[in-house]
Structure 1
C-alpha cells in the first residue's frame, strides 16, 4: 500500500546522510535506519505504514527527525541501545541493535511518532524575528503588537522577545550581509504560543537534540534562556491548539486580533498543500496591518541553512526577508530583497 512512500523515504534517508553539518550527531542513526529499511524489515515497515496511515501529510524530513527523537528517548533510558550513536561500533552491530529496539518498542515508537512533532527548540532563532517585528511595528506605526507563535513547543521564543541580555549574547555570532536591521523594542501587549497536544515536556525536547557536543551546547543555551526570561513567564500564554485544525485556528486568531504571527520550523513538517492552507488561514484572519513570519529549512534538512519569509495582510505575495547559512542562526544571514519593504530602513552591517 505504501511501497512508493517507502522508496521516497529511503531516498530521503540516503540524502540526509550527506548533510554537510557533520556535528549534529544523527548520521550514524540515519545510516542504520537506511540499512534497516533496505532489508525490508517487516516490523519497521509496519511501523512506517502505520505512521503514514495516521499522518498522510507528514513530510519525509519530519518523519526522519521524529524517528530519531523517539529512538533517542529510548536510548537515554536503556543505555545498551546508546551504541546506536557510537562510531566505534561496526555497522552490523548498530543495525542489529536498531532492529531489536524497533521490535521491542514498536508500540511506543508508533505512539510518539504519530502523536508528536519535532520539538527541537533553538534558543537563537528569535534573533531574526526580533529585528523584523520591531522594524515592522515602527515602519507601520503599530502601537500594540498582539503576538502569536505557532508550533511554539516550550514557548521560548515569545519569552525571548525584547530581552536584550539574551539578544546581545547570541547576536554577536550572527553577521548580517550586506546590511543589518536596527534593534527595536517591540510594543508587545499580548504574547501567545500554541502547539498541538500533547504539549512537549523537557524530556521530549531533550531527545530532539542530536547526541553531540555541538547540540549539548545548544541545549545549555536553551536552559540559560529560560533562566534569563523567567521574569516574563506569566506574560506568555501557552495553549494547546493544532494549527492543522484550520477552523479552530481561524477562530483563535480572529478572537484575539493577532497582528503578528510567527511559525518557526513547523510548516516544513507537512506537505506543501498543507503549508499553503495554513498560511492562507493565518493571513486571512489576522488584524491589519499584520505580518505572518515563517522560518523553514532551506533544503528540507538535507543541507544547512534556513529561509525567513513573510506575508502581509492584504498582499498575496510571499516576501523574501532573509536567508541564513545555518538553521541555528550562527554565521551569516543575508538580508532579503523584500526586507526594506517590511521594516523601511537600512543599516550597514558593522556600522554604528
Structure 2
C-alpha cells in the first residue's frame, strides 16, 4: 500500500488502533488490517480499496475502514467466514494470513457490500440529545408544529424514539449534562420521516455494524428493546424512503415537498469529504421551512477517539452553533453544554 491515498488510510488505521474503546470489538480486526496493509507489494486489500474508491470517491478513510470491518463481519455471520479474524486469542500472524486470504477470495462480495452500504450503526441512546435540544428550540421559538426528517436514518430508530418517554426514562440517567440538562419536553411533532441511501438498511445489516463483543451485544439489545417500545407507543409506523443525500436535488425536493422545518443528521456527514459535507448542509439549509433547524451530531475525531460534537444551523444561517460535546459517542457519560445551546433555547 504505497499510493498517497493508501498511505493516508494506513495512517488513519494506525490512529484508530489507539481508540480508547478498542476492546469493544473492532480493534482486533483493525490490527489484522494493519498487518495486511504493511505487506510489501500489491495485495487484495489494495485492489479492493481501489475499486471502492472508484465507486465512492468521496468516502473518508475512517468510513472506509469501518465499512470494511462491517463487510467482513457480515460475511462471517452469514456465510461462515473465518471468525478467528475477530478473536484476540488467535495469534496476530494467523489473523493476518486468514484476513488476507478472505480479502482475496471474497473481494468481489466485500467490494459490493462496501459500495452499496454505509455504516448504519444505530445507537439506541443517540436520540436523547435531539429530544432535549429540539424540544428546547421549539419551546423558545413558539413552534407549534414540527415536521422532522431524519437524514441517514438507518432503520429509522431515532425518529421512532422521539417523545417515547419510557425509552427516554431508561437511558437518560446514564447521560450527565454539565452544567444542567434542558428539561424533557414533548416535541410538537406533526410529521416525522426518515431517509437513507438505497438500499435501505435492514436489521440484519445493523447487527453487522455492531462490533463483535459483549459490549456491542448489549447495545444491539437496546436497539431491539427500543423498537418494541416504539411499537407499543404507536410510533413504529414512521415512513422511511430511499434517498441518497449526495443527490442534492432529490434531497431538496424531499425537504420542500414535505415542508420539513427540522432535520437531524446523526453520524452521517463524517462519512464524506469536507466539500461534500458542505454541499449537503447548504442544500438542507436552503430547503428547510422557517423557523428551521438542522441538528448535526458527528464524531469529534473521525472515529479515532471517543466522543461526538453537536452543532446546529438555524433559519438558513451557514454559521454552525456549537451546542454540546458528548464524552462517549454512544451517548453515555457526560454532555458539556456549549454557548450554542443558549442561542437555541433563548
Q: Give the TM-score of the pair, scaled to structure 1.
A: 0.95
Residues 295 and 313 of structure 2 are in contact (CA less than 8 Å); yes or no, is this contact kept in structure 1? Answer: yes
Aligned CA distance change for structure 1 residues 97 and 78 (closer, same or farther; 3 Å): farther
Residues 121 and 209 of structure 2 are in contact (CA less than 8 Å); yes or no, is this contact kept in structure 1? Answer: yes
Q: Give a deviation string over 1:52-76, Cα, whole Å, max 9, x none.
A: 1111100000001100000001111
Corresponding residue for 2:248? 246
Q: Give a deviation string over 1:200-243, Cα, whole Å, max 9, x none.
A: 11111111100111111000000000000014345411001111
Corresponding residue for 2:10? 10
Corresponding residue for 1:113? 114
Within a 5 Å distance, the mapping from 1:1-352 to structure 2 comes to 3-39=3-39, 40-79=41-80, 81-230=82-231, 231-233=233-235, 235-344=237-346
Describe the SS at the equivalent of 2:234.
helix
Residues 246 and 281 of structure 1 are in contact (CA less than 8 Å); yes or no, is this contact kept in structure 2? Answer: yes
Residues 160 and 236 of structure 2 are in contact (CA less than 8 Å); yes or no, is this contact kept in structure 1? Answer: no
Q: Give the TM-score of the pair, scaled to structure 2.
A: 0.97
Distance 2:154 2:126 in 1: 13
**Deviation at residue 343 of structure 1 after TM alignment:** 1.4
Would you say how many aligned residue pairs link Structure 1 and Structure 2? 344
Alignment gaps of 5+ in structure 1: 345-352
**Deviation at residue 78 of structure 1 after TM alignment:** 4.5
Distance 2:334 2:46 in 1: 40
Aligned CA distance change for structure 1 residues 91 and 251 (closer, same or farther; 3 Å): same
Aligned CA distance change for structure 1 residues 314 and 87 (closer, same or farther; 3 Å): closer
Q: Give a deviation string over 1:11-59, Cα, whole Å, max 9, x none.
A: 0111100001133211111011111111144221111101111111000
Describe the SS at the equivalent of 1:172.
helix
Distance 2:26 2:92 in 1: 14
Aligned CA distance change for structure 1 residues 7 and 131 (closer, same or farther; 3 Å): same
Q: What is the CA RMSD across the aligned residues, in angstroms?
A: 1.3
Residues 24 and 211 of structure 1 are in contact (CA less than 8 Å); yes or no, is this contact kept in structure 2? Answer: yes
Distance 1:170 1:217 in 2: 13
State the 4+ residue runs in structure 1 displaced beyond 4 angstroms.
Answer: none
Residues 254 and 287 of structure 1 are in contact (CA less than 8 Å); yes or no, is this contact kept in structure 2? Answer: yes
Aligned CA distance change for structure 1 residues 294 and 63 (closer, same or farther; 3 Å): same
Alignment gaps of 5+ in structure 2: none
- Of 234-243 and 185-194, deviating more is 234-243
Distance 1:63 1:53 in 2: 12
Q: Give a deviation string over 1:253-293, Cα, whole Å, max 9, x none.
A: 11111000000000000001111110000011100000000
Q: Give a deviation string over 1:152-176, Cα, whole Å, max 9, x none.
A: 0000001000011000100000000
